[in-house]
Structure 1
Amino acid sequence: AILTMANSAVFNPNTLHTHVSSKNENIKSLSQNKAIQKLKYGEYYVNMASTIKPLTILIGLNEKLFQPEDTYLDKGTFQYDNQNNITNAPGTPTGEITPRQAIINSSNTFMTAKVALPLFNQNNGNIEKVAHIWTDYLMQFGLRSKTGIDLPFEEDGQYEFHPSNKFENGISALLNASWGGNEVHTPLQLAQYAATLASKGDKYKPQIVSAIMSQDGKETKKFKPILESSNRYPMEFWSVVQGGMSQNIEEIKNLPFHVAGKTGNTDSPNEQERMINHSLFIAYAPTEDPQIAISVVIPGSNSEKNIAALVTAEVLEFWHTLQ
């Protein structure tokens, strides 16, 4: 069940009074629940950025594109062709790295050179087949499909890499998708993704009601968790993924329990064409026995620090005090 949902002051359910027109679009304009909608900054959607990388690594492992202890020399940049030159942010080489370290160091080049391109080649350049494979993995973890939560106006994500892509656009979209560059998903989809990582492949439907209580405080009905899908992967794969999510995150290191998390940073131009930073973070805790999963997306955070991770730390600390 969902413990809490919060977003900016744009969403105020009290505005939905009886004088509002019953037309669907008029009501929707007053019920901008950002937790279940794609987030924008100006005219640009905020993509999931590097929060996808734990899943990208899991895909690479499961497709046998590399082994858990294989290494890759990350030079900070990877050029596929004249149109596709992938760089780390901010173009920093990280040297010889394993898949686990690729998550820790958030290596864009590893995702493209060791996952996206080998997946393309392994399927004989059939971009439509690769798109179906990619989409299937993401849907297993709550991405690229609505969660089905019992709230109105939930939106689906937006993405460039899909089976109808032409070849020229498809390979470029695949390379970018591997590090989250064109994958846009709602905060709730990201939270379900984090929860599915926490449960090692079990995807549960988000529910806003856990029980119905009578006036005298007695429980009259309890809603059981709804398991939507269960996908099994070797434990050694999960050790790589969780190991990569449990290291080198400054903002959560002082919490009194272990947290697995992944930062995401992306940017888009404002009206003055100045690039503005957006901050994302997904996490679950405690790492050893997950009880909570969370996603935080802050468009326009425009800070060198990952503000979303700082917010996550405060939320998790408060959650811990309630246990």
Structure 2
Amino acid sequence: MASGKNKKPTIPFRLNVLFFAVFILFSILILRLGYVQIVEGDTYEEDVNETASTSASRVDAPRGIMYDRNGTELVGNNLILTLTYTNQRSYEDDERIQTAEELAELIEFDEEETDRDSMPERNLQDYWLLTRENEADKLVSDKEEQRLMENGKDPYEVQLDRITDEQLNDISDEELEVVAIWSEMISGYYDSPQRVKRDLTEGEATAISARLDELEGVDVTRDFRRDYQYTKAFQSLYGNVGSIPQETVSEFLAKGYQRSDEVGQSFLEEHYEDTLRGKKGTVSGEDDEAEETSNGSRGNDLVLSIDMDLQREVQTIIDDQMGQSEGSFPNDQQAYVTAIDPNTGEILAINGYDDQLGNITNTYEMGSTIKPATGMIGLQEEVITEDTKINDRPIDLPGPGGKVSSSHEIGTIDVVGAIQESSNVFMSEIAMRLMDYEYGSNDGFNNQKVDEAYATMRDYYHQFGLGVETSVDLPSEATGLNAGTQVPGSLLFFSFGQLDTYTPLQLAQYSATIASDGKRMEPHLVKEIREPNRNTDEMGAVLHQFEPNMLNQVNIDKEYFDIAQEGMYDVVNTELGTADSYFTDVNMEVAGKTGTAERSVRRESDNEVVDVNNQTFIAYGPYEDPEIAIAVVVPNTYSSDEGGRSGIANSIAADTMQAYENLKEERPGAGSGEGDAEEENGEENAEGEENAEGDEASADEEQ
């Protein structure tokens, strides 16, 4: 019998099969790798080399141009060179500081950008901690650092709190420029170019370009700066362009923007961002040889409704009239003018004395300019008729705020005369009848009827555009103050414009709505969107034309508009009209309405509360076929009794209407000069400086 020691070990059959399968799989893998390397190796190598050696970047494209309605360029672009820095997570803090120090030797920042007092304290603190490591370590000991971390506190924040002003003052004046540059370098996002300095000089661009290989993350790129023309006459409403606001970053990234892109931040630039934004080109290059592989394009252009000739004429008128009115204001001088085409809603001019924005953002009580609407309300609600006669005399309602009188006792008048001579009492009678109250009655007030009267009047005013959005194509529009339903006496003052507040633009829309027999048109500043044209002297093809948009038709019969318009015609064309003497030299048949609202303000010079007036005026013309409707608001002037100049708004209105008529006959051509330089030199004043200096009788001294 054989011994067990002589028995040979055996490999199970299944294990042999497994070894064979593994052998086959490895053989297939080796054959495949050999095929890829030998047969297709050259192809893959070319692809890898091409990818590795080619860099691509997006090149900023200029924004669209803005023109006025006559083709005058208002906003263009200037090509500039910009220093950018692309921050990487792999960069160390000391590397960034070193780059900033090297750049400080190559570029110069403005003094205000390197002013110690204007720099954010946190930037100075961070810089100090990074460049004074030994002193920084002494602010928090290792033992304290461990204890702080155990308690969930950040030792770095403690270090910041312990830096003294004396230590920050140790940062030299030479270092402040480094701080400014370094702050810009790190203020952006990782992997995204951040603008450090725009508009490099030729010397700065050359010096930086010569050292790009040494300056990691630094580049010099072509960029564009907005070139705003006629800034004296229109700067505010252009808006401005800047970095994407933090709160809207996600929204812009979703639209394909980069974090470092600049966008419209206000007014026209913001509202039409999607239109004005340029399409970026892509520049790709292999090593040092770059070529443009995808052309970008300028953004689409805007043709504004603004007539820059008229805009500049009106600005000159305002400046001249306000120059003649020194001493009439307890605080800063303000004046606003908005002109609208009543047939289309196109804004022809929108001016302000050092503040065009106030036309859409500031609200005021507008005084007796509201009376044409109140007269029409009374007619439509059938509380008066065309033949109703009311004796204009002082009235005094029971309760607070019920004493009303006109500038003088006018006597018995109808609704046309009430508008012509600006009767507060006639309008108050309409208000009393709307709340079902008979003056002199012993009956008390019906509170429900009072509230209904407020609601009725406010509903009609809203239909005219007062106290509601005008729908203008600009952000940040104010709607005014709705004072609510108050005591019966306040309703009387409401009837002649001394309760709710409205913007100058709302008042202009109201004026245009009267001119167009109740058609409230949407006001807009842009007429057309056009394709960009390589030749910027000529506009491109029209992409979109904004058609007139009627927001609503006022629910008042046409015959009642005729009556109110007759009263407005008499205001400026008859001897009893409150503005007749101001329009004697205007070569256009004009209808208008004066307004004065009494209020109180605190005088900034001595903190004393003083009485002031808001002077207002609405007008349109030509009377039979209106082409232009305007609103003038001159708020917070002293009354003539207090040394103020009366009739400022009337004079501005008359000169504005004459300026419009003059331009129809002879247009100087705003585009022939150099924008601001042309404004400063040789501006012609509008016809008719002041048509009735010192004429107190027609100065619209109303309640």
Asked if TM exceeds 0.5, the reply is: yes
Amino acid at match of 2:496: W
CA shift for structure 1 position 152: 1.3
Contact 2:367–2:614 (8 Å) recurs in 1: no
CA shift for structure 1 position 203: 0.7
CA shift for structure 1 position 318: 1.4
Structure 2 CA distance for partners of 1:146 and 1:101, relative to 1, 3 Å: same
CA shift for structure 1 position 63: 0.7
Contact 1:200–1:232 (8 Å) recurs in 2: no
- Residue of structure 2 aligned with 1:296, choices 626, 632, 637: 632
CA shift for structure 1 position 273: 2.4
In the alignment, what sits opposite 1:112? 428
Structure 2 CA distance for partners of 1:290 and 1:86, relative to 1, 3 Å: farther
The Cα offsets for residues 198-257 of structure 1, whole Å up to 9 and x where unpaired, read as: 111111111111123443334443211001111353443223201111122222232111
Q: Which has the higher helix share?
A: 2
Is residue 252 from structure 1 mapped to residue 570 from structure 2 by the alignment? no
Is residue 270 from structure 1 mapped to residue 602 from structure 2 by the alignment? yes
Structure-1-length-normalised TM-score = 0.83
SS of equivalent residue, structure 1 residue 181: coil
Q: What is the alpha-carbon distance in structure 2 between the residues aligned to residue 131 and residue 189 of structure 1?
A: 19
In the alignment, what sits opposite 1:43? none
Amino acid at match of 1:236: E
SS of equivalent residue, structure 1 residue 274: strand
- Residue of structure 1 aligned with 2:358, choices 21, 31, 34: 34
Is residue 71 from structure 1 mapped to residue 402 from structure 2 by the alignment? no
Greater Rg over alpha carbons, structure: 2
In the alignment, what sits opposite 1:309? 650
Q: What is the alpha-carbon distance in structure 2 between the residues aligned to residue 255 and residue 32 of structure 1?
A: 25
- Residue of structure 1 aligned with 2:372, choices 54, 59, 80: 54
SS of equivalent residue, structure 1 residue 246: helix
Q: What is the alpha-carbon distance in structure 2 between the residues aligned to residue 198 and residue 13 of structure 1?
A: 26
Aligned runs of 1:7-46 on 2, under 5 Å? 12=236, 16-18=240-242, 33-39=357-363, 46=364
CA shift for structure 1 position 49: 0.7
Aligned runs of 1:220-235 on 2, under 5 Å? 220-231=543-554, 233-235=556-558
In the alignment, what sits opposite 2:307? none
Q: What is the alpha-carbon distance in structure 2 between the residues aligned to residue 220 and residue 300 of structure 1?
A: 44
Contact 1:11–1:33 (8 Å) recurs in 2: no
Structure 2 CA distance for partners of 1:13 and 1:258, relative to 1, 3 Å: closer
Amino acid at match of 1:185: Y
Contact 1:157–1:185 (8 Å) recurs in 2: yes
Structure 2 CA distance for partners of 1:283 and 1:95, relative to 1, 3 Å: same
Q: What is the alpha-carbon distance in structure 2 between the residues aligned to residue 149 and residue 279 of structure 1?
A: 24
Q: What is the alpha-carbon distance in structure 1 between the residues aligned to residue 244 and residue 403 of structure 2?
A: 49
Amino acid at match of 1:153: S
Amino acid at match of 2:400: Q
Structure 2 CA distance for partners of 1:14 and 1:82, relative to 1, 3 Å: closer
CA RMSD in angstroms comes to 3.0
Contact 2:406–2:425 (8 Å) recurs in 1: no
Contact 1:285–1:293 (8 Å) recurs in 2: yes
SS of equivalent residue, structure 1 residue 314: helix
Structure 2 CA distance for partners of 1:211 and 1:133, relative to 1, 3 Å: same
In the alignment, what sits opposite 2:168? none
In the alignment, what sits opposite 2:564? 241
> Structure 1: 5+ residue runs without aligned partners?
40-45
Aligned runs of 1:132-151 on 2, under 5 Å? 132-151=455-474
SS of equivalent residue, structure 1 residue 156: coil
- Residue of structure 1 aligned with 2:415, choices 81, 99, 116: 99
CA shift for structure 1 position 138: 1.0
Q: What is the alpha-carbon distance in structure 2 between the residues aligned to residue 69 and residue 276 of structure 1?
A: 36
Contact 1:61–1:237 (8 Å) recurs in 2: yes
Q: What is the alpha-carbon distance in structure 1 between the residues aligned to residue 662 and residue 234 of structure 2?
A: 29
Contact 1:38–1:156 (8 Å) recurs in 2: no
- Decide which moves more: 189-198 or 66-75: 66-75
SS of equivalent residue, structure 2 residue 526: coil
In the alignment, what sits opposite 2:261? none
CA shift for structure 1 position 17: 5.0
Structure 2 CA distance for partners of 1:300 and 1:136, relative to 1, 3 Å: closer
CA shift for structure 1 position 300: 2.9
Q: What is the alpha-carbon distance in structure 1 between the residues aligned to residue 523 and residue 660 of structure 2?
A: 18
Contact 1:38–1:184 (8 Å) recurs in 2: no
Q: What is the alpha-carbon distance in structure 2 between the residues aligned to residue 94 and residue 68 of structure 1?
A: 18
The Cα offsets for residues 53-91 of structure 1, whole Å up to 9 and x where unpaired, read as: 00000000111111112211111x11111423333344x
The Cα offsets for residues 34-67 of structure 1, whole Å up to 9 and x where unpaired, read as: 010224xxxxxx3011111000000001111111
In the alignment, what sits opposite 2:479? 156
Structure-2-length-normalised TM-score = 0.40
Structure 2 CA distance for partners of 1:227 and 1:9, relative to 1, 3 Å: closer
Q: What is the alpha-carbon distance in structure 1 between the residues aligned to residue 242 and residue 548 of structure 2?
A: 34
Q: What is the alpha-carbon distance in structure 1 between the residues aligned to residue 409 and residue 513 of structure 2?
A: 31
Structure 2 CA distance for partners of 1:269 and 1:310, relative to 1, 3 Å: same
Q: What is the alpha-carbon distance in structure 2 between the residues aligned to residue 88 and residue 23 of structure 1?
A: 53
CA shift for structure 1 position 99: 0.6
Aligned pairs, how many?
A: 301
